[in-house]
Structure 1
C-alpha cells in the first residue's frame, strides 16, 4: 500500500456492524478470526451488540472476584481487566482497530473510548468522568459516592485491537452483586436509564456512535473535558 493509501486508510471511518443480541463466546471467536485474517488493507470496524447473561473474566482475573455466579456462565476472555457482567439492556461496542495505521497507542485509544462515553452522557445531562488508575467511566450520586456506568477492556494482537466497551443502559444490575465488578469490592453500578439518559440500547448506540467516531478523529483526546464541573 502506498503512503497516500495508508494515510487515507488511517483517516477512514470504521465500518459499523450492528449485530443485535449475540452469544459471547461465538462473538469472541469471530473477533479473533477477524484480527488474525486482517492485513494492512482491511478496514477498521466497530461492532454494536448485546450479549445474553454472561460473566467474563479478564486475563488477570482472580477467581475470588466471582462471589456467586449461580446460573450465569463464567467465560475466560483474553482482554485486559478483571471480571465483569454482560447482559440484555447493556450496550457493547467492540473496536477492531489497526493501531499502527491510525498512529494510536493503546492508552490513547482507551482515552478516546472513555471520552466518547463521557461525551454522550453529557449530551443527556449526566456528569461523568474517567479515572486513569481505574479504566472506565463513573458518575457520583448525591452523596458523592462513585458508581460505575461504563466499563472497557481491550486486547492487542498483531498491532490491532479487539474487545471494547460496555455501557449500562436499561439492564438488570443484580448480577453485578455476584461479583466484585472489575475487581473492586463494593463498587456500585448504575445505568443511563436511571439517570435520565437513554432507555433503549438502540438509542444509546446511535448517540454513542457519533461521539466515538469523533474521538477516533480527535488528534488530542486528552484535551477533551472529563465531564466534571
Structure 2
C-alpha cells in the first residue's frame, strides 16, 4: 500500500498530538493508512527515553532548563521517543511519520536515513549543503544542527519524526545540550539567508518525504487529528 494521509495541523500543543500518535499507533490494523502530520508546537522541551535516565543522575554532562534561567514558562515533557532532550517552538516545522515499517519492508535505520535524506534534499533546493552524521541522527550544516530526528516504534509501526528549524527563536536551545551533545550548535534557514515561512517549507518537505518513503497517492486533512470514536479502518476512504 503506497497511499498516505497527510494532516496539516497548524500550531498545536505537544501533549494532545503525542497522545493522538500513541492512540493511532495502538489501534491501527494491517490495512490502516500510514499518515504524515505537519505542524508546529508552542514552546516546549521534550525528553526522550534516554533523557529520562540521564536526568535522574546517570549523566552529569547533560544540561536541563532550571528555575532562574528565564524560561520557567516553557514546560518540560517526558515522552516515549528515542533520544535525549530537545526544544520545539513556533517557526520550527514538525513532520510526524506514522508508518507501518513491516508493510514497507523498512528497518528503523532505513526510516531514519529516509527522513535525513528528505531534509537534505529540501535544503539542497535552497542551495544549502548539509549532511547526516553516523554518530548523531539528524541533519547538519557546517556542524550546526538544523534538523532533529526522534522516533518510537511499536510492533513495527513508527510515530514521532523530525523537526526542521525554519525561522524561530533559537535561544531556548542555549539552555540545554541539544540531543545530549554539549556545546552543539544549532542553526535555521533564516540564519542561512533563506527567509521562508513554515507553510512555504512544508510543501517541498512533504514532497521530499513522499518521494523518500515511496508514497504515490495522498489524502489531505486540514486541522484535524484522527477521530478515535470511529474505527480507524473507516477513515481509510
Give the shorter-chain TM-score range: 0.7 to 0.9
| Alignment match, 1:103 | 105
Helix, strand or coil for the counterpart of 1:17? strand
In the alignment, structure 1 residue 203 sits paired with structure 2 residue 205: no
| Alignment match, 2:63 | 65
CA deviation string 1:97-149 (max 9, x = no partner): 00000000000000000000000000000000000110000001xxxxx1000
| Alignment match, 1:16 | 6
The more displaced of 14-23 and 67-76 is 67-76
How much does 1:67 deviate? 3.9
Provide the aligned length of Structure 1 versus Structure 2.
203
Determine if contact 1:124/1:196 at 8 Å carries over to the other structure. no
Helix, strand or coil for the counterpart of 2:158? strand
TM (normalized to structure 2)? 0.83
TM alignment of 1:22-171, pairs within 5 A = 22-61=12-51, 62-63=54-55, 64-68=62-66, 70-140=72-142, 146-171=143-168
User: Could you list the runs of 5+ residues in structure 1 that have no partner in the other structure?
Assistant: 1-8, 141-145, 219-229
Q: Give structure 1 regions of 4+ aligned residues with deviation exceeding 4 angstroms.
A: none
How much does 1:87 deviate? 0.3
The more displaced of 175-184 and 209-218 is 209-218
TM (normalized to structure 1)? 0.86
CA deviation string 1:72-116 (max 9, x = no partner): 100001000010000000000000000000000000000000000
Determine if contact 1:79/1:153 at 8 Å carries over to the other structure. yes
How much does 1:158 deviate? 1.9
How much does 1:13 deviate? 3.3
Helix, strand or coil for the counterpart of 2:136? coil
How much does 1:198 deviate? 5.0
Helix, strand or coil for the counterpart of 1:16? strand
Helix, strand or coil for the counterpart of 1:101? coil
